[in-house]
Structure formats: C-alpha cells, structure tokens
C-alpha cells in the first residue's frame, strides 16, 4: 500500500489572511463584494488558498479564492492568483451542449443550414465498397460518380438510420401512444384514408390522406388512430315523436257572431 504524503501547512501563508484580502479587494470592482474569511486549503508546499465569501448580487453560493505562495527562505508571501469559484450551493450555467446536439425538429428557420457529417451512421454511400472504411478521397469520388451517373443521391439511408426514424415516428404524434390515438374509435390500419408506402417500413407505417384529420399528409403507424376514421358513424338518435294535430282557436269568431 502506497502512502501519499500531504504537504504541511506553511505558517506564513496560512496566517496571511489580511494579505489575501487586500489583494482581493484591489482586484475586484467593489470591495463590498468581498465577505468573511471562510478558511484555507493547503495546495502544496508553501502554497495556500484562502477562501472568502462572495456578497455580490446574483452570486449566492460562490466564493473568492486567493492563492498565496512563499519562496524558500523568504519571509514574505506572494499572491499567485485570485479567482471567483462556485460552491456546492451555487447557481451555475448548465453544461454546454454543441448546437448540433441541441437542435430539435422544428427549430430550423428558412435559410438555416444543418450540415450532416461524412461519417453520419444514418447514411451510407449509394455505391459503397462493401464494409471497407472509406477515407475522405473515396467519399469524394463516390459523390462524383453518383453525380456523373445522374443518380441524384450520393448517399442513402442506412439500416440504422431507418430504424432510428421508425422508432422516432412510432414514439411520436403519429404513433399509438399519442393522446388522440388513445381515444380513437379505431386504428389507421382499417381506415380508407390510409395510403400505403413502399419499402421496408411498409408493414408498419402509411400516410394519412384525410384532409379533415390532424395527421393529413403525415406518416402514421398502422395502430395509430383519430376521430376522423373513414368508418366512424355517429350514434343514431331517438326517432322524433309525431306532433299532435293542430288546434284552431275559434273563440273570437264565436263571440263576434253572438254580438
């Protein structure tokens, strides 16, 4: 078992609280932002960091750190750096996520571009060389060949990309879990407005062609549904009861004849 030796606290740097505070006050914009001394941490041999509370508005839970060092055989300490750091209860910004990973369907505006990486697993070359990996020159050659042959597409959907799309559609608003599908009288598989599609997803999805439905023109799963199903019929109401024969009020006429 290896024992790691810890540096011994240096008395001069530990006692130099006022030196650390003065250096911090000289460095910040407003001296009132510096609060009470919170303690110190021994960083190394003759290296100590003093911590001070931060009273600046909007920085609850943050603290100032001033690192002091003392050279060998020297009596005076030197300020190495001052920094403002968040504590355990500090409010900090969330971890940064690249824009490409933050983008969601519907976020793109007219004119926005969203490039797709050459190694995107959702796409494979239209003309590929088996399972051999392709370098940048090979990929450029494939694009040129596809363009020369008039294929229109240099890459096509890979099985992984197809499965990801199918799962996304099935879990989305066009799948069986959508609220409108949960309360539907029947499923799309028996609806006359369902347009069949070709390809490997033909047994699971179709396109809604009902102009009165919310999903018109969209991909829907066979077990999706809505209230605009082609075979929906309203329940028959009770037949209206016949009205009685009209009664003619001839009271006024009889009175006229009397007089």
Structure tokens at 207: 């396109």
Q: Kindly list the distances between the CA atom of residue 185 and the CA atoms of 58, 181, 225, in Å, as whole numbers in the listed order.
A: 54, 8, 8
In this prediction, residue 99 carries a pLDDT of 77
Backbone angles phi, psi at 20, to 5 degrees: -65, -40
pLDDT value of residue 245: 79
State the Cα angle at 65 between 64 and 70, rounded to 5°: 150
30, 56 in Cβ contact below 8 A? yes
Which of the residues in the chain have pLDDT under 50? 1-4, 129-132, 259
Q: Alpha-carbon distance 189 to 194, whole Å?
A: 7
What are residue 42's phi and psi, to 5 degrees?
A: -85, 115
Residues 6+ away with beta carbon under 8 Å from 196: 202, 206
3-state SS, residue 152: coil
How many Cβ atoms from other residues are within 10 Å of residue 104's Cβ? 6
CB atoms inside a 10 Å sphere around CB 208:
22
21 close to 34: Cβ distance less than 8 angstroms: yes
Q: By C-alpha distance, which of 2, 40, 46, 43 is closest to 20?
A: 40
Task: Say what the pLDDT of residue 240 is.
Answer: 65
Residue 177 confidence (pLDDT): 93
Supply the pLDDT for residue 129: 41
Of all helices (H) and strands (E), which one includes residue 21? Answer: helix 17-27
Domain boundaries along the sequence of the chain: 11-86, 117-157, 160-221
Nearest to 129 by CA among 141, 144, 117, 116: 141
CATH of domain 11-86: 3.10.450
Rounded CA separation 14/77 (Å): 10
Q: Are 231 and 193 in contact (CB under 8 A)?
A: no
Phi, psi of 52 (to 5 degrees): -125, 145
């Amino acid at each position: 078992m290896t024992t790691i030796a810890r540096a011994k606290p240096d008395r001069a740097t530990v006692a130099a609280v006022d030196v650390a505070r003065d250096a911090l006050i000289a460095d910040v914009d407003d001296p009132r932002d510096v609060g009470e001394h919170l303690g110190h941490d021994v960083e190394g041999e003759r290296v100590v960091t003093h911590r001070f509370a931060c009273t600046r508005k909007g920085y609850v839970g943050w603290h100032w750190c001033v690192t002091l060092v003392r050279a060998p055989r020297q009596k005076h300490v030197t300020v190495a750096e001052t920094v403002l750091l968040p504590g355990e209860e500090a409010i900090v910004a969330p971890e940064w996520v690249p824009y490409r990973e933050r983008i969601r369907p519907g976020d793109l505006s007219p004119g926005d571009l969203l490039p797709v990486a050459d190694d995107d697993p959702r796409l494979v070359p239209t003309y590929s060389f088996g399972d051999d990996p392709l370098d940048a020159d090979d990929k450029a050659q494939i694009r040129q060949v596809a363009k020369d042959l008039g294929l229109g597409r240099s890459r096509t959907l890979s099985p992984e990309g197809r499965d990801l799309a199918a799962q996304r559609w099935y879990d989305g608003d066009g799948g069986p879990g959508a609220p409108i599908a949960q309360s539907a009288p029947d499923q799309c598989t028996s609806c006359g407005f369902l347009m069949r599609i070709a390809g490997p997803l033909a047994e699971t999805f179709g396109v809604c062609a009902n102009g009165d439905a919310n999903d018109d023109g969209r991909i829907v799963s066979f077990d999706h549904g809505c209230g605009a199903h082609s075979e929906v019929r309203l329940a028959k109401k009770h037949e209206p009861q016949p009205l009685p024969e009209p009664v003619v009020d001839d009271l006024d006429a009889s009175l006229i004849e009397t007089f």
